[in-house]
Amino acid sequence: MSTVSLCPKQPPKLRLTPLNLKPPSQSSPIAYPSSCSSSSTTASEVSTQSELTEILPNLYISDINVAECHTTLSSLGITHVLSAMSGTVHIPAALPIHKLQIPLLDTPFAELAAFLPNTTDFLTDALRDKNAKVLVHCVKGVSRSASVISAYLIARYGWTTDQAVNYIRSKRMNAQPNRGFISQLDEYARSLNQSPS
C-alpha cells in the first residue's frame, strides 16, 4: 500500500511582516493552493488559492484548506490549531498539534459569546510559549476566525471591537465578522472593562 501526499512537496516561500500594533499597513497573505494537492500552481489556479495571514507574531488566520494541509502546518511549525466551525476538520493526526474546536455557525444569531472565554484562554496559554505557533481558522477565514482573534485582541490589549477588527483587516482585507458577532464582541469588550483586573 502506498501513501499519497495531498499537499505540495515544497510550499511557497513565506513572506511574513513584523508586528506593528500602530495602524499597520496591509500585509501580504501567504498563498497556498486551495486543494493542497498539487506541487505547483498554474495561472488558472491562482484565483482559488487559500491564504494564510500572520496577524501577530506566531498567530495566523486561514481557511480550512490551510488547516488541513500537513505540509503547510509542518513547514510553519504550527503547534496549536483553533477551529471555529462546526463539522469535521481533518487536521493531520501525524502532527503533534494541540487542538480546540468550537462548533460555531457563521450566522448573525450564532452564540459566539459562549465560546469566547475558552478561545481567549486557549490563545493566551498557547502564545505564552515563545516557540508556539497558532493557527485560527474557519471555513473561509473571514468571519468566525476573525471574530475569535478579535476577542483575543480585545482581552489582551484592551482594544475596542472596532480597533481589533480594523487591525485584523489591515492584515487580511477580507476579514469581516458578521453583524451578530460584532454585537457580541462589543458586549464582550464591555464585560472585560467592567471586570476588576
pLDDT digits (tens, 9 = 90+) for 13-72: 333 333 444 434 444 455 444 446 433 333 223 233 468 999 999 999 999 999 999 999
- Tens of pLDDT, residues 71-125: 999 999 999 999 999 999 999 888 999 999 999 999 999 999 999 999 999 999 9
Cell readout for 175 is 476579514
Please report, in angstroms and rounded to a whole number, the separation of the first and last CA atoms in the chain.
Answer: 58
Superfamily of domain 30-194: Protein tyrosine phosphatase superfamily (3.90.190.10)
Contact 119, 151 (CB under 8 A): yes
Sorting pLDDT into bands at 50, 70 and 90, what band is 1? Answer: very low
Q: How far is CA 57 from the centre of its chain?
A: 12
Task: Give the Å distances, CA to CA, from 26 to 49, 166, 172, 187, 189.
Answer: 18, 11, 7, 28, 25
- How many CB atoms are closer than 10 A to CB 59? 22
Q: Which of 65, 97, 103, 69 is nearest to 83 (CA)?
A: 103
pLDDT at 45: 31
CA distance 132 to 126: 6
Residues labelled catalytic? 138
Cell representation of residue 193: 472593562
Q: How would residue 194 be classed by pLDDT, with cut points 50, 70 and 90?
A: confident
Task: Identify the pLDDT of residue 39.
Answer: 37
Read off the pLDDT band of 195 (50, 70, 90): low
Domain boundaries, the chain: 30-194
Query: What pLDDT is recorded for position 93?
Result: 87
DSSP readout, 19-86?
A: ---SSPPPPPPEEE-SSS--SS--GGGGGG-EEEEEEETTEEEE-HHHHT-HHHHHHHT--EEEEESS
Q: What pLDDT, in 10s, does the model give residues 152-185?
A: 999 999 999 999 999 999 999 999 999 999 999 9
**Alpha carbon 182 to chain centroid, angstroms:** 17
pTM: 0.77
Provide Rg for the chain, Cα atoms: 16
